[in-house]
Amino acid sequence: MNIAFLTKEYHPSTVDAGFTTLLNLAKEFKRQGNTVVMISGREKYTQHKNILPAKKRFELVEGIPIFRPYKFPQFKTNVWILNPSLFFNRFFAAPAGLRYVQKRLNLKFDIIHSFSSAPILVLNNILAKSFSKNAKKVHTIKSSSVFDNFSFKLLNLSDAVISSLELLKKEFIKKGCEKNKITIINSPIYIKNFRKKNKTGLRKKYGFNKKDKLILYYGNRVHSKGTDIILNCIDYLPKNKNITILMIHPTVWPKEYTEYLKKKKNRTIIKLMVKKINVADYLSMANAVIFPYRNLQATEANPLCLLEAMACKTPIVTTSIPEINELVTDYKDVLMALPNNPKSLAEKILEMINNPELQRKLTKNAYKTVKKFDVSIIAKKHLELYKKLLKKDV
């Protein structure tokens, strides 16, 4: 089976969970004998000066070919709808890239699978259909969206729509997507890449005190992920308990974070780090990991970092929001603080690190839960859907 992934722009200068899940899926498809090609634009809608455009027309990433054949001259505005370059790369670069790839590789695609958080970006898939008329169109919506009903009705132009949660499926239907179009398939993770490692050896390697209660946060600093809540939760943590909260960002922490911490009495509890990390190493070193989500809009509804921590058997403190509640259970797989509540987060951190028996119970159950997200299972569900769509024309 020949499969085209129409993706958002992937950039080596940052860490992107969405791209990682797609790459995992593509590698598993390839392992099972399919041909997978990723196609995207070459510019990114961003105001972050440290994130550079992906300029290569072609690269091979872990055996998966990525084509970004088209770009327009860049304009100064970052408001994408006013910028012809960004507008082109949002809606036309991937479909035009599909035509380019088919000619270059002499390849006809059976499946065109596009991915986005915003339903309006299904237009990538619809436009691509004109270059591969016999292919079936599949679109994955990765998270909840604030877009209006018209955008969701566009999803009906696909042959199939994939949602990662029952919660999202209900939202899509309410906003106009046909129920019979939607299939629920979770995001994938390579569980084998997150085996628990020796904590003592890793702490020595990375220079952390073996006696510290190391609490880990890693990821971006967008408002929905609640990194500011972590900064404020230290007001409710004891300073003399050897607690260190390690917050790791792949590119940069803004100056206002360091300035804000200077005003805190307990500021030494938090250590800000900018680094691309070996995630399994840092999860294995941690006594617990924290993900204080406010919501999961415009991001992965099956958060990759949550799945990684579950696979690595690291105790998790997160928040009680609808998306997380569908994935895991409080006091069974994780501990859940109240969202947007620094005091509640601090209380759950203390409860976790002071109760080894609870840690063992939660990590054991979380590992059982995360097995259903393994890439081999998720890839099989995708391929079954693809085959079902292709059989309709037989």
Highest mean pLDDT: which range of 75-79, 129-133, 262-266, 307-311:
307-311
Q: CATH fold of 2-188+374-391, please?
A: Rossmann fold (3.40.50)
| pLDDT digit string, tens, across residues 116-166 | 888 888 998 999 988 888 999 999 998 877 666 788 999 999 999 999 999
Q: Does domain 191-373 have CATH number 1.10.1840.10?
A: no
Handedness of CA 325, 329, 335, 338 (dihedral sign): positive
In this prediction, residue 252 carries a pLDDT of 86
In this prediction, residue 56 carries a pLDDT of 79
In this prediction, residue 12 carries a pLDDT of 55
Domain boundaries, the chain: 2-188+374-391, 191-373
| pLDDT digit string, tens, across residues 293-324 | 999 987 889 999 999 999 999 999 999 999 99
| CB-based burial, 37-74: b 16+ in 10 Å, e otherwise | bbbbbbbbbbeeeebebbeeeeeeeeebbbbbbbbbee
Residue 221 to residue 48: CA distance in whole angstroms: 12
Helix 93-105, helix 84-91: angle, nearest 10: 60
The yes-or-no verdict on residue 51 having pLDDT over 70 is no
| 144 touches 297 (CB < 8 A) | yes
Residue 90 to residue 77: CA distance in whole angstroms: 15
The yes-or-no verdict on residue 348 having pLDDT over 60 is yes
In this prediction, residue 50 carries a pLDDT of 54
- Report long-range pairs for 200-204 (Cβ below 8 Å, ≥24 apart): 202/281, 202/284, 202/285, 203/285
Q: What is the dihedral of CA 35, 26, 42, 161, to 10 degrees?
A: 100
Distance of CA 381 to the CA centre of its chain: 19
The yes-or-no verdict on residue 181 having pLDDT over 80 is yes
Q: Across-strand partners of 245?
A: 215, 270
Amino acid type, 225: K
| 335 touches 316 (CB < 8 A) | yes
